[in-house]
Structure formats: C-alpha cells, structure tokens
Amino acid sequence: MTGLCTQGPEPDLEEPTLVEGFPGVGLVGKIATDYLIDQLEMRYYASVDCEGLPRIGVYRSGDRTARPPVRLYVSDERDLLALQSDVPIVAAAVNNVADCVTQWVVDHDATPLYLSGLPAERETKPDLYGIATGSVGETLATHGISPPPEDGVITGPTGALINRAAHREHDSYGIVVECSPQFPDPEAASVLLEEAVAPIADISIDTDELLERDAEIKEQREQFAQQMRAIAQEESSQAQPLRMYQ
C-alpha cells in the first residue's frame, strides 16, 4: 500500500495549504519547511509511504523516537500542512513519489506551495519568482510575486510535482528563489517564507532566528548539501534556464 499512514487524530482542515520541503539546491525548501514546522510547533500527522522512498528510520539528538524519513505535519488552526523530507529522492522513485503525493493532495483539496532554488551568484538579497498551475496565478500578482524573467525548468521531485499538478490542472504554486549553487542558503529560505509562504498561506512567521542561526544552519546542513551536490540532476529539485536543455 502506498500513500500516507496517519499517526494521530485527523485534523480539521478546510482547503489547506501544503508547503513542500523536498531537498534541492541550496536546501532552500527543506530549510524553510523545517523552520516553519519548528516555529509554528506543527503536529506530526502522517508518514509518507510512497513506493521508492527509502525504508529507513530517522532519529533526533536527545529524542528516542524513530520516524520514517518523509513526514507530514499539520497546524489545524492555520489550515496548514508541511511536507518534511530528511532524504533526497532517487531518480528512479521521483515519478512514483510525485504521483503518490499528488493523489493525496487532490483527494484532500489541498493547494501546494512547491519550493525550489535557482542557482545564482549574488551580492544582494535573492530575487524570488512565482509560477502556478490551475487557476491561482493571479494570487501571485496580488502578493507582488513577480513572474520569471526568462524561460526555465524545475527538475527533481519538485519539478515532477509541478508537472503532475499541471497535467491534472490542479491549483498549485511554484516558488523559485535565487540561492547559492554550492552551500545551504538560510537567507534564501527566509525570503521564501517572508515573501511567498506567509502571504499565500495567510500566516505570520518571524524569520529573525533563522537569519541569526545562519552559520549554525549552514554547518548542520553542509553534509546533506554535499550529498545533494553528488547526486544526479534529476534527483535534486532546482530551477534552471530552459536554454540549458536546448
């Protein structure tokens, strides 16, 4: 059986927003989602059991509880879900995982926010762009989120999820932020949270602690980032100019 295995009471949700945190370039989606779950004290709701996901147990420092590597968290009062992943998704599993997650999203009438980094060398605050599927494109304009300045593609599990949403004409957002091509980028993750996740999901999130812990987070996530740099491009969620594929 594939899908979600619930770990607690069913949440009381009405057309929730889901924030996706599969690891990709700069780990921007993962850092943003991990921080969101922690700051909002979101409840562990379900483990994701899709064909192709590694069958491993994950544990945390100071905590005896072991859990599956891909999990769903919920905040009932905010009508919010967050998908947390502690592992990269191998290329052979990307399509299965995208189909599995998309089916659950559609069945539960959730609107996903898919997060991706765009490798860029920069000296200033990273730029952020938005794309959409279904009928929610105007919401991006309402919140001042600019369209991409050039043609591009999003690869990896995040790209596959956007592909599935587009095929089904299901509402979803794809948020792209400039980020470091080599290292974990908490600053870019904070831009995702402040300029896209918070306004679209209609929540309040203080990112001061995320920026204050920049060096600590980079050190903690560096080994994971090295692993992401070593894997194939199709396994790593990232946005790239379309000309690189032509």
Which residues lie below 8 Å from residue 174, measured CB to CB, with a gap of 6+? 114, 116, 130, 131, 132, 133, 154, 158, 162
d(Cα 193, Cα 246) in Å, to the nearest integer?
Answer: 32
User: What mean pLDDT do residues 213-236 have?
Assistant: 64
Q: What percent of the chain has pLDDT over 90?
A: 71
The string of pLDDT tens digits covering residues 14-47 is 999 999 999 998 899 999 999 999 999 999 999 9
Q: Is 117 exposed, middle or buried (0-12, 13-18, 19+ CB in 10 A)?
A: buried
Question: Considering all CA atoms of the chain, what is the largest pairwise distance in Å, rounded to the nearest integer?
Answer: 50
Domain spans of the chain, in order of start: 3-245
Taking CB atoms within 8 Å and a gap of at least 24, the contacts of 216-221 are: 217/31, 217/184, 217/186, 218/183, 218/184, 218/186, 221/27, 221/30, 221/31, 221/184
Q: Which residue has the higher pLDDT, 68 or 217?
A: 68
Crossing angle (nearest 10°) for helices 28-39 and 214-230: 140
pLDDT band, residue 242 (cuts 50/70/90): low
Indicate the CATH number of 3-245 among 3.40.50.10900, 3.30.70.20, 3.30.70.930, 3.40.50.2000: 3.40.50.10900
User: What mean pLDDT do residues 81-98 have?
Assistant: 93
Question: Does the structure show a pLDDT above 90 at 72?
Answer: yes
